[in-house]
Amino acid sequence: MSGFLGSGKTTFLAEYLRRSQKRVGVIVNDFGDVSADIELLKGLTSTVKDVSGGSMFCACKKEAFLTTLALYAQSDLDEIMVETSGFSNPSNLLTLLDEIKGPNHLRHRGLITIVDANIFEKISATCRAAREQIVRADLLLVSKMDLSEDTIETMQVCLRKHNVHAPVHRLDHGRYEESWLKGMRVQDTRGMSIMDMSLRSITLKFTRFPDEATLERLLADIWPYTERIKGTVIDHDVHKYVEYDEQGLKSTLITPSVQVGLTLLGRSPVMDMKAIETVCQTYGFVYVA
């Protein structure tokens, strides 16, 4: 499963796990060093593995992904769902799956791409990875239609310009129809592409965390230098999963986590570390990146 930052991949995956009657193993690939998404999924499946710190399609994380996949293949799982990083370029997906070592009974069922209707035009025009996610998809699910002026029919026409193969459906807060998944047909799109190397990921680990109100003001000032902010924070000894975007701060209570920190994702030169450091200092907080 692919989709650009904040498109709703984890929301869809959580809904899928709640509804599934099968034994599902999950692999979460995050571009940052800290995978906050995994904390939201642990309560829905006992079999979830974290492959963070880069894209699973690149050399730095490819072996870790393949090793985890091979272990899952030898277990009693019925299905494996993989949530890729929002910055991942899946152009070599099929080639990568061919490299799995050892006996396995895996059958690739297809690539699902979640498309954010709100930012589709801008992102597909400026980010190669986002375009590849759409082009390589076997099923396109459009999220956040309620925040967009476009209709699903308009989105279908736009997406057809990039992919004539994949069915297009509207995703409503992660809810989907079983027939969409059963109707997927895998297209063979073997070939390599180069990931946009201007992408950057930084993990902020504060020596002390601000309260939620102060955190929201702090992130509002950092937001112009990033494209995505998410992570796990501690507020008065309570662990929370937080996300920040143009609509503000969203937080969810979670069980205590050893992975505490905020992951900032963005592209150079917009992602200005000096400016981010200055913002933190203005609020009187020191962080370790």
- Residue 78's pLDDT is 92
Tell whether 28 is covered by a domain.
yes
- Residue 266's pLDDT is 75
DSSP state for residue 175 in the 8-state scheme: B
- Residue 82's pLDDT is 93
pLDDT tens string, the chain, 289 residues long: the values are 999 988 999 999 999 999 999 999 999 988 766 666 777 788 788 799 888 777 888 877 888 888 888 889 888 899 999 999 888 888 888 888 888 766 667 888 999 999 999 888 888 878 888 888 998 899 999 999 887 777 888 888 889 888 878 999 999 889 999 999 988 888 776 653 434 445 677 888 777 778 889 889 999 998 888 878 888 888 888 889 899 987 889 999 888 876 788 888 776 556 777 888 888 888 877 665 5
- Residue 192's pLDDT is 37
| Chosen domain end from 151, 182, 213 | 182
Tell whether 192 is covered by a domain.
no
Number of domains in the chain: 2
Q: Which residues contact 86 (CB under 8 A, 6 or more apart)?
A: 3, 4, 5, 6, 7, 9, 31, 228, 265
Q: Which domain holds residue 264?
A: 199-288
- Residue 207's pLDDT is 72
Tell whether 188 is covered by a domain.
no
Tell whether 65 is covered by a domain.
yes
Tell whether 216 is covered by a domain.
yes
Helix (H) or strand (E) holding 239: strand 238-245
Q: Is there a single domain that holds both residue 16 and residue 93?
A: yes
Q: Is there a single domain that holds both residue 151 and residue 8?
A: yes
Residue 82, SS3 per DSSP: strand
> Residue written as tokens 């920040």?
244
| Chosen domain end from 182, 209, 238 | 182
Q: Is there a single domain that holds both residue 162 and residue 213?
A: no
* Number of helical (H) and strand (E) elements in the chain, helices listed first: 10, 13
Q: Is there a single domain that holds both residue 159 and residue 246?
A: no
HSE-CB at 210 with a 13 A cutoff on CA atoms is: 19
Residue 98, SS3 per DSSP: coil
Tell whether 30 is covered by a domain.
yes
Rounded CA-CA distance 50/68 in Å is 9
**H-type alpha helices, 74-190:** 93-97, 120-126, 128-135, 152-160, 178-182
Q: Is there a single domain that holds both residue 67 and residue 175?
A: yes
Q: Is there a single domain that holds both residue 69 and residue 98?
A: yes
CATH of the domain at 156: 3.40.50.300
Q: Is there a single domain that holds both residue 105 and residue 203?
A: no
| pTM: predicted TM-score of the whole model, two decimal places | 0.69
Q: What type of residue sits at position 223?
A: W
Rounded CA-CA distance 199/182 in Å is 34
Tell whether 169 is covered by a domain.
yes
| Chosen domain end from 182, 211, 245 | 182
Residue 87, SS3 per DSSP: coil
Q: Is there a single domain that holds both residue 30 and residue 152?
A: yes
- Residue 113's pLDDT is 96
CATH of the domain at 216: 3.30.70
Rounded CA-CA distance 203/165 in Å is 38
Q: Is there a single domain that holds both residue 219 and residue 149?
A: no
Tell whether 193 is covered by a domain.
no
Q: Is there a single domain that holds both residue 175 and residue 279?
A: no
CA angle (40, 42, 46) in 5-degree steps: 160
Q: Is there a single domain that holds both residue 85 and residue 163?
A: yes
Q: Is there a single domain that holds both residue 126 and residue 15?
A: yes
